[in-house]
């Protein structure tokens, strides 16, 4: 993930929004459920349509072309973009204020890199992702939801915090790839190896 290893965490969010044709003054929610997408995204969008909020939505559907087509055919009453598979996830996350998705370690790391508020889907968490979800909630880096109602309530709270710039989330750049070589060097220079 080279795009998450540069200075992109310090980018100008308003300029990133404008580059995507979004309103720089309005919050952006990025919904991402991995490279294969998930029909859960459709459920959540339907939930948002039933109770519209002042926000823009980026729906990254991955390789799920059927999902992208279905979303394009929905009457979504707020600004949105529907994106199929892309290698430019950093561009979309860099323009976003809130990340919604499953608690995969890659997605969470990327959202942390940009200092985003996170809303993680408990129903989509794989057993190996539960520790990630628990870490995010325990450290105040985000919250979790199960039902449509808990999703709406949590999202409304995050949008309110975003609009008031309350408790801004500090970016946590991912430097793991730069640390790996020194860790490996340390292992092989150990007398026990």
Q: Which residue has better confidence, 183 or 66?
A: 66
- Domains of the chain: total: 1
Average pLDDT, the chain: 87
Q: Is the pLDDT of residue 172 over 80?
A: no
The token pair at 13 is 């969010």
Mean of the pLDDT values across residues 102-118?
Answer: 90
* Residue 37: domain span: 2-188
**35 located within any domain:** yes
- Domain contains 193: no
Q: Residues with Cβ < 8 Å from 161, sequence gap 6 or more? A: 117, 167
In a domain, 147, yes or no: yes
Q: Does 89 map to a domain?
A: yes
Collapse the DSSP code of 5 into the 3-class scheme (helix H, G, I; strand E, B; otherwise coil) and give the result.
Answer: coil
CATH number at residue 167: 3.40.50.2000
Would you say the C-alpha torsion 59, 61, 62, 65 has a positive or negative sign? negative
Are the C-beta atoms of 114 and 171 separated by less than 8 Å? yes
Categorize the per-residue pLDDT at 6 as very low, low, confident or very high, splitting at 50, 70 and 90. Answer: low
Please tell me the distance from the alpha carbon of residue 163 to that of residue 56, in angstroms, as a whole number. 13
Q: What's the first-to-final CA gap in the chain, in angstroms?
A: 30
């Amino acid at each position: 993930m080279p795009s998450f290893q540069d200075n992109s965490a310090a980018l100008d969010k308003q300029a990133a929004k404008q580059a995507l044709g979004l309103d720089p003054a309005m919050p952006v929610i990025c919904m991402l459920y991995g490279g294969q997408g998930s029909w859960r995204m459709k459920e959540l969008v339907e939930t948002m349509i039933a109770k519209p909020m002042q926000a823009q939505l980026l729906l990254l559907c991955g390789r799920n072309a059927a999902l992208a087509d279905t979303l394009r055919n929905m009457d979504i009453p707020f600004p949105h973009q529907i994106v199929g598979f892309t290698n430019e996830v950093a561009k979309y996350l860099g323009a976003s204020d809130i990340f919604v998705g499953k608690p995969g370690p890659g997605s969470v790391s990327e959202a942390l890199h940009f200092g985003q508020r996170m809303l993680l889907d408990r129903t989509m968490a794989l057993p190996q992702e539960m520790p990630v979800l628990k870490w995010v909630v325990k450290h105040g880096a985000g919250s979790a939801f199960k039902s449509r109602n808990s999703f709406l309530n949590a999202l409304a709270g995050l949008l309110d915090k975003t609009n008031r710039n309350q408790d801004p989330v500090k970016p946590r750049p991912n430097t793991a790839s730069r640390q790996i070589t020194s860790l490996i060097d340390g292992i092989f220079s150990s007398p026990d190896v």
